[in-house]
Amino acid sequence: MSGPSLMDSLFQRTLEDLIKGLRQQLIGEQAFISKALEEIRKEIKSTDLSTKSTALLKLCYLSNLHFHDMSFAAFHALEVLSSPRFSHKKIAYHAISLSFHDSTPVLLLITNHLRKDLTSTNEFEVSLSLQCLSRIANVDLARDLTPEVFTLLSSNKLYVRKRAVAVVLRVFEKYPDSVRVCFKRLVENLENYDPQILSAVVGVFSELACKDPRSYLPLAPEFYKILVDSKSNWISIKVLKIFAKLAPLEPRLANRVVEPICDLMRKTGAKSLLFECVRTVVTSFSEYESAVRLAVGKIREFLVDEDPNLKYLGLHALSIVASKHLWVVSENKEVVIKSLSDPDPNIKIESLRLVMAMVSEHNVAEISKVLVNYALKSDPLFCNEILGSILSTCSRNVYEIIVDFDWYVSLLGEMSRIPHCQMGEEIENQLIDIGLRVKDVRPELVRVARDLLIDPALLGNSFLHRVLSAAAWVSGEYVEFSRNPLELMEALLQPRTSLLPPSIMAIYIQSAFKVLVFCLHTCFVRGGSTAGISASASYESFDDLSVENGAGSTVAHAPITNESIVNLLKLVELALSPLLGSHDVEVQERARNLLGFVDLIKLEALNSSGQEENDSERKGVEATKIIRLVHDAFSKELGPVSLSAQGKVPVPDGLTLNENLGDLETICSDIELPSSNTFSFGYPTEEKDVSSFSNLQIKEDSGQSNESTSLLAEHRKRHGLYYLPSGKSEVISNDYPPANDPALQGDNNNNASDLVKLTAESLVSKRKPNHSKPRPVVVKLDEADEKPVAVKHPESRDDSLSGAVRDILFGSEDILPTSSRSNLPNSNRKGKEKQHMITQVESKENVVDDGNSSSRRRKDHSHGKERRHRKKNAEERNETDRKEKESSSNHPRRHKSRQRAEEPLKVPPQTSVIPDFLL
């Protein structure tokens, strides 16, 4: 674009032209806007104020609606501000409110302008500047302009006073000391009859009270009066909100206020006010049975109303009630469940939350069934919401509400199969978690896992991959509970597993390894000699199940004959040979491991087909030994290591962690690093006693296991302290008898003893293991209980604000150390001490009673003295207050002017002693 033509420069485009041009879209929006911006930049530098202001206006528009930065115009805005014309001022102020922020450099220059306008006689100018101030005020501005605001708070013009009150909020926030100046007037405005002013003041107080209710407790009588007298719904709502915050702090206040609130509830026709009353009651007055009942009745009306807005609000209120009075929710159960199928998604979610709130040990099964049915019928989003909430509720507090884990585990399996399910990760976590923690459910877990693994269709569903990986791990780890390991092997090695991502394939391979070892062990080494599976057991039929009681109940397996072993080995080779060249390191490594192992024992195993099982000489000592070793390695449970264990390890002397590892080459080149799979071998500690390590045997024979196991053992020796004891992960409270699976006939025999065992276990406190397993796909079992530390930063400012407010309301004092501090979060400010509220209250009352200002200056108050004093005053108060609640509350305020803070103080919220104004 060439420079502006003469035509262009003669006639400045107005905002209308700009908008028209924009809408016409002749040259495209961006191009038009950049052209316009260019023009604006030129125009805004002109000396003519009208041109400037039009340019500014256009800039505002562009900035507001099209998000352009207008900070370059800051100074120009100021120039326009100095114009005498009102329209210019308006535009300038508008621009300023939009674009100025704390770091605008010219902010300092605006003070004088504002001051001039604030003191102007034209009320509109005053209001403009007030409006602007409320948007951009920072500490300096607030501080400098406080006197002007103070004057305006008592201005005659309603228009101005309203805005001044509104500004006060921002000024207080930025510059708390202004409270000392302005608060009195603000409170005076509470008594103003004009509804606009009143609503402004009440609005300000409701904002202030939300942040720090305690400071405003003394004003409760005024609020009470407003509540009772008010005609305006808006004001009543605000006052109710204030009371909602105040009431929990002061039970006597609550007592007084409950009645009027209930009255309001009964009488009002406005739904908004009604809802606010209901909300206030259920939030802060939940101890008052009759009030709650009344509120609940009203909630029911909301719930059955046609208007979805009201339904939603009803559900919302119900969920607030639910936290304290669960019976309410059960009463309205049908409505809640019906709302689950409401077209409005917000309503659905609220009702889901309510249903979850109703869940307890007894009904968790039915509710889950109902919910899963709903999930099947719903859209994906809601379906996942449902599943997510079921999962999180059931897993809360280490599965506190689950009594029947077998059912829960099968539910998890079922959930995985729901078409829209995207909660794969959570299900995976829980499957593994439960497997680790709940020993008795492992058979069921393995069954569920088997079902998942066998189904080839599931392999194609990418959402389910995580679940499948959990299933694979579970079946590998607890293979001894499986009924048909051969089937498992086939499932793990099926060709469709190539659809899985490499990390999960690696898990599959490793699990296949474990299952293989188990089969080999059962067939060759055990030779059917243990666990009631005799030598001939391997030829027994599948249906004959014998269960071992006591430690490690095993399920009888499908016959594991020598032929089946041979077939198995062939299958392994077939399935894994293509993976030997896989690009993924993990997969390749594990495949090689497994095939290597197979190679080692293949010869003997094949040779021994058809031979007697106990013929160890024929089988070759080597193979048996290997099998035995590997099996033992796999069968020891590795306990999780705590996340913080690494942090607890003291850095050994002479080790500099940040050193460049370049030297490692020279040091380590001659050490042969063991292959990765051997890291899964390990020895759990029996206790934290380090000396027990020397008792653990370190197997020398197997070349595979030697190095890593010794390394690991070494490590444990040194840092055994940080390994959690082994028995832990098995401890969980299960109050249930073993699953009465009709196929597992044997279980029934031992219900009694199992029950006893279980009850005993249930009395032991639950363990919370938290660590990841030594596997590539790390499943975090962390109960990372990082409760978000409530950030208390905003309180620092509020504190000074509340400090200032308290000074005004209670009488300011010197810094006092106190003996009794209530344990509230912001009570640990360094450096400054806080005043004792009791002293303040006392001093206030003292002012009334004996005008003794010296009593205010006391520094060392013993607690007992205060209490006596307080009681005395309270009694006196009681008598005088009965009739003249109003006037007595006025007394302290009249004396407020006598109270001046010595220095800015930070006042802590103490256990409050509220003057008994209301009694």
Partner 1 sequence: MIKAVMVMNTQGKSRLAKFYEYLDSRLVYKHFATLYFVFVFDSSENELAVLDLIQDVLPSVFVETLDKCFQNVCELDIVFNYSKVVSSLISASI
**Exactly one of 179, 200, 441, 565 binds partner 1 (CB under 8 A); which one?**
200
Q: Give every CB contact of residue 757 below 8 A, 6+ residues apart in sequence.
A: none
| Chosen residue from 13, 89, 94, 447 binding partner 1 by CB under 8 A | 94
Angle 271-284/289-304 helices, nearest 10 degrees? 140
Report the nearest approach of partner 1 to the CB of residue 21 (Å). Answer: 12
Instruction: Confirm or reject binding of residue 603 to partner 1 (CB under 8 A).
Output: no
Choose, by CB under 8 A, the member of 27, 31, 108, 210 that binds partner 1: 210
- How many Å apart are CA 496 and CA 498, to the nearest integer? 5
Is residue 162 part of the contact set for partner 1 (CB under 8 A)? yes
Question: Which of the ranges 90-98, 383-391, 599-607, 866-874 carries the binding residues for partner 1, by CB under 8 A?
Answer: 90-98
Shortest distance, position 316 Cβ to partner 1, whole Å = 9
Q: Smallest gap, in angstroms, from Cβ of residue 41 to partner 1?
A: 20
Is residue 270 part of the contact set for partner 1 (CB under 8 A)? yes
309 vs 462, which CB is nearer to partner 1? 309
- Across 223-248, b (16+ Cβ under 10 Å) vs e yields bbbbbeebeebbbbbbbbbbbbbbbb
Q: Which lies closer to partner 1 via its Cβ, residue 198 or residue 409? A: 198
Among residues 203, 123, 119, which one has the least CA distance to residue 157?
Answer: 123
The string over 535-566, giving b where at least 16 C-beta atoms fall within 10 Å of a residue's C-beta and e elsewhere, is: eebbebeeeebebbeeeebbbbbbbbbbebbb
Among residues 37, 40, 59, 60, the one that binds partner 1 under rule CB under 8 A: 60
- Give the DSSP H or E segment for 472: helix 465-477
Give the nearer residue to partner 1 in terms of CB position, either 274 or 594: 274
Instruction: For residues 718 and 695, give the distance between their C-alpha atoms in angstroms, rounded to a whole number.
Output: 15
Directed axis angle between helix 195-211 and helix 793-810, to 10°?
A: 120
- Give the binding range for partner 1 (CB under 8 A) out of 19-27, 99-107, 361-369, 900-908: 19-27
Is residue 91 a contact point for partner 1 (CB under 8 A)?
yes
For residue 90, state whether it binds partner 1 (rule: CB under 8 A): yes
Regarding 323 and contact with partner 1 (CB under 8 A), the answer is no
Among 8, 9, 23, 31, binds partner 1 (CB under 8 A): 23
Choice from 9, 20, 45, 363 touching partner 1 (CB under 8 A): 20
User: Is 276 a residue that touches partner 1 (CB under 8 A)?
Assistant: yes
| Shorter beta-carbon distance to partner 1: residue 22 or 454 | 22
Residue type, position 274, single letter: L
Piece of the chain touching partner 1 by CB under 8 A; list 39-47, 86-94, 725-733, 811-819: 86-94
Residue indicated by tokens 């990841």: 772
* Residue 636 per-residue DSSP state: S
Rounded to whole angstroms, how far apart are CA atoms 667 and 659? 14
Asked if 640 contacts 724 with a C-beta cutoff of 8 angstroms, the reply is yes
Residues numbered 748-767 forming contacts with partner 1, rule: CB under 8 A: none
Distant-in-sequence, close-in-space partners of 912: CB < 8 Å, separation ≥ 6:
214, 217, 249, 250, 837
Residue 414: partners with Cβ closer than 8 Å, 6 or more residues away: 372
Query: Which residue lies nearer to partner 1 by CB, 18 or 367?
Result: 18
Residue 574 as a binder of partner 1 (CB under 8 A): the answer is: no
Residue 67 beta carbon to partner 1: minimum distance, rounded to whole angstroms: 9
Q: Decide: is 207 part of the binding site for partner 1 (CB under 8 A).
A: yes
Q: Quick check: 898 binds partner 1 (CB under 8 A)?
A: no
Nearest CB to partner 1, comparing residues 106 and 166 = 166
Of 269-277, 326-334, 414-422, 721-729, the segment contacting partner 1 by CB under 8 A is 269-277
Q: Binding of partner 1 at residue 299 (CB under 8 A)?
A: no
Instruction: Catalogue the long-range contacts made by 357-364 (C-beta closer than 8 Å, 24 or more residues apart).
Output: 357/319, 357/322, 357/323, 357/326, 357/329, 358/322, 358/326, 358/329, 358/330, 358/333, 359/393, 359/401, 360/401, 361/401, 361/402, 361/403, 364/394, 364/401, 364/402, 364/403
Query: Is the CB of 286 or the CB of 890 nearer to partner 1?
Result: 286
Question: Rule CB under 8 A: is residue 27 a binding residue for partner 1?
Answer: no
Least Å from the CB of residue 251 to partner 1:
23
Q: Is 247 in the site for partner 1 (CB under 8 A)?
A: no
What H or E segment, with its residue span, contains residue 752? helix 751-763
Does residue number 237 form part of the binding site for partner 1 (CB under 8 A)? yes
Count the site residues for partner 1 by CB under 8 A: 37
- Of 513, 514, 544, the closest CA to residue 528 belongs to 544
Given 21, 32, 35, 61, the residue binding partner 1 (CB under 8 A): 61
By C-beta, is 53 or 511 nearer to partner 1?
Answer: 53
Residue partners of 384: CB distance under 8 A and separation at least 6: 420, 421, 422, 423
Instruction: List residues bridging with 122 in a β-sheet.
Output: none
C-beta separation of 777 from 503 below 8 A: yes
The residue to which tokens 């009143």 are assigned:
198
Which residues share a beta bridge with 641?
723
> Per rule CB under 8 A, is residue 64 in the interface with partner 1?
yes
- Our finding on whether 166 is near partner 1 (CB under 8 A) is yes
Question: Contacting partner 1 (CB under 8 A), which of 4, 19, 746, 890?
Answer: 19
Q: Is 64 helix (H, G, I), strand (E, B) or coil?
A: helix
Q: Is residue 878 close enough to count as binding partner 1 by CB under 8 A?
A: no
Q: Is 713 in the site for partner 1 (CB under 8 A)?
A: no
Note whether 57 binds partner 1 by CB under 8 A. Answer: yes
Among 34, 111, 131, 853, binds partner 1 (CB under 8 A): 131
Based on the shown chain and the rule CB under 8 A, indicate whether residue 65 belongs to the binding site for partner 1: yes
Task: Compute the distance between CA of residue 101 and CA of residue 84 in angstroms, rounded to an integer.
Answer: 25
Contact flag: residue 52 with partner 1 (CB under 8 A):
no
Phi, psi of 284, deg, nearest 5: -110, -10
Binding residue (CB under 8 A) for partner 1 from 264, 291, 313, 471:
313
Nearer to partner 1, 192 or 196 (CB): 196
Q: If you count them, how many residues does the chain have?
A: 919
User: Should residue 15 be labelled a site residue for partner 1 when binding is judged by CB under 8 A?
Assistant: yes
Tell me whether residue 135 or residue 891 sits nearer to partner 1 (CB atom): 135
User: What are phi and psi for residue 85, nearest 5 degrees?
Assistant: -75, 135
Instruction: Give the CA angle between residues 112, 118, 120 to the nearest 5°.
Output: 105
Binding positions for partner 1, rule: CB under 8 A: 15-16, 19-20, 23, 57, 60-61, 64-65, 90-91, 94, 131, 135, 162-163, 166, 196, 200, 203, 206-207, 210, 233-234, 237, 241, 270-273, 275-276, 279, 309, 313
